[in-house]
């Protein structure tokens, strides 16, 4: 079961990248994650039909409710045609069985640690790949960081993914599972791709990723006292991001420095979805 989860992690990042970006292998390889999800469904059904007792924590129900709200709201708000809805549902729902596997299968702490290690390796790979994409593969597109996607499908997805990695590293530090210098190194590695692809939302996502884990720690853990060094890490990471962003943005005539973008009236609004079909 542990191998199934790790294989899913690897296939999600590699299947589409290898086929579409590198042009290697059969196009049907992109369906490997769906195949593994189907296996997970069979595992769930097997446990349930065998009469295995299970209970779902209320927090699971809340997460699932919010998840489906995002899916349904997205379709209705943008008035999507039926074909697009079916295609979108495939992307949204294919990984849900893996969220439910822990309900019927008791993963051991060692197995969970292995899964987390696999994810951290995948996240760490995004940094050198982002450097390669920015300065080698798409060096002729230096006016924009949009082609810097790592192993993901878009630059925005890559940045959100890396901020999730920052939050995980901070959580491990707060739980005293890793040392401060390890956490500092992880944050530096994870923030680098968001600087290279010029994701402005990093300014808002980074503080959340650094501070939010403390509010989910058990009482009496002393997590709030450890926020001071994390705050210093945030200042360093934020300064590095702003410096890098302003350096790369110089190659574009129509793009202001990040400070101007945030403070100048009308700049940020142009990035918000207005609901207009022609804009």
Q: Are 16 and 153 in contact (CB under 8 A)?
A: yes
Indicate if the pLDDT at residue 221 is higher than 90.
no
What pLDDT does residue 158 have? 92
> For residues 182 and 178, what is the distance between their CA atoms, to the nearest angstrom?
6
Closest CA to 101 of 68, 59, 54, 66: 54
Cα of first residue to Cα of last residue in the chain, in angstroms, is: 47
Choose between 267 and 124: higher pLDDT: 124
**pLDDT over 90 percentage in the chain:** 22
Q: What is the pTM of this model?
A: 0.79
Indicate if the pLDDT at residue 99 is higher than 70.
yes
What is the band of 137 on the pLDDT scale with cuts at 50, 70, 90?
A: confident
Q: Which residues contact 119 (CB under 8 A, 6 or more apart)?
A: 9, 165, 168
Indicate if the pLDDT at residue 110 is higher than 60.
yes
pLDDT in tens, 225-267: 777 888 888 888 888 888 887 877 776 666 677 777 777 776 6
Closest CA to 207 of 180, 227, 222: 227
Indicate if the pLDDT at residue 272 is higher than 70.
no
What pLDDT does residue 170 have? 93
Indicate if the pLDDT at residue 279 is higher than 50.
no
What pLDDT does residue 226 have? 78
Indicate if the pLDDT at residue 269 is higher than 60.
yes
Give the mean pLDDT of 53-80. Answer: 81
What pLDDT does residue 119 have? 92
Indicate if the pLDDT at residue 98 is higher than 60.
yes
Residue 97, phi then psi, degrees to nearest 5: -55, -30
pLDDT in tens, 182-197: 999 999 999 999 988 8
In this structure, what token pair is assigned to residue 222? 């002393």
What pLDDT does residue 114 have? 93
- If you average pLDDT over every residue of the chain, what do you get? 83
Indicate if the pLDDT at residue 97 is higher than 80.
yes
What pLDDT does residue 219 have? 76
Choose between 29 and 166: higher pLDDT: 166
Give the mean pLDDT of 208-216. Answer: 88
> For residues 275 and 77, what is the distance between their CA atoms, to the nearest angstrom?
8
Indicate if the pLDDT at residue 55 is higher than 80.
no
């Amino acid at each position: 079961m542990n191998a199934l989860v790790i294989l899913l992690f690897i296939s999600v990042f590699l299947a589409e990248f290898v086929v579409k970006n590198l042009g290697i292998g059969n196009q049907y390889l992109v369906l490997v994650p769906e195949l593994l999800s189907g296996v997970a469904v069979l595992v769930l059904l097997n446990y349930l039909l065998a009469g295995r007792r299970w209970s779902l924590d209320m927090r699971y129900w809340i997460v699932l409710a919010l998840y489906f709200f995002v899916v349904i709201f997205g379709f209705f708000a943008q008035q999507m045609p039926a074909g697009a809805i079916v295609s979108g549902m495939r992307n949204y729902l294919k990984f849900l069985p893996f969220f439910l596997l822990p309900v019927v299968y008791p993963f051991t702490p060692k197995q969970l640690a292995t899964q987390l290690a696999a994810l951290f390796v995948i996240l760490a790979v995004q940094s050198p790949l982002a450097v390669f994409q920015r300065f080698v593969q798409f060096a002729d597109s230096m006016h924009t960081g949009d082609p810097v996607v790592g192993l993901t499908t878009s630059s925005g997805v890559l940045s959100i993914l890396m901020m999730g990695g920052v939050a995980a590293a901070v959580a491990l530090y707060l739980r005293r599972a890793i040392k401060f210098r390890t956490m500092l190194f992880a944050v530096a590695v994870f923030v680098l791709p968001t600087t290279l692809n010029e994701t402005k939302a990093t300014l808002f996502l980074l503080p959340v990723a650094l501070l939010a884990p403390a509010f989910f720690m058990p009482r009496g853990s002393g997590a709030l006292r450890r926020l001071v060094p994390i705050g210093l890490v945030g200042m360093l990471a934020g300064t590095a991001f702003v410096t890098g962003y302003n350096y790369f943005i110089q190659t574009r005539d129509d793009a202001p420095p990040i400070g101007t973008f945030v403070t100048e009236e009308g700049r940020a609004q142009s990035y918000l979805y207005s609901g207009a079909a022609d804009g």
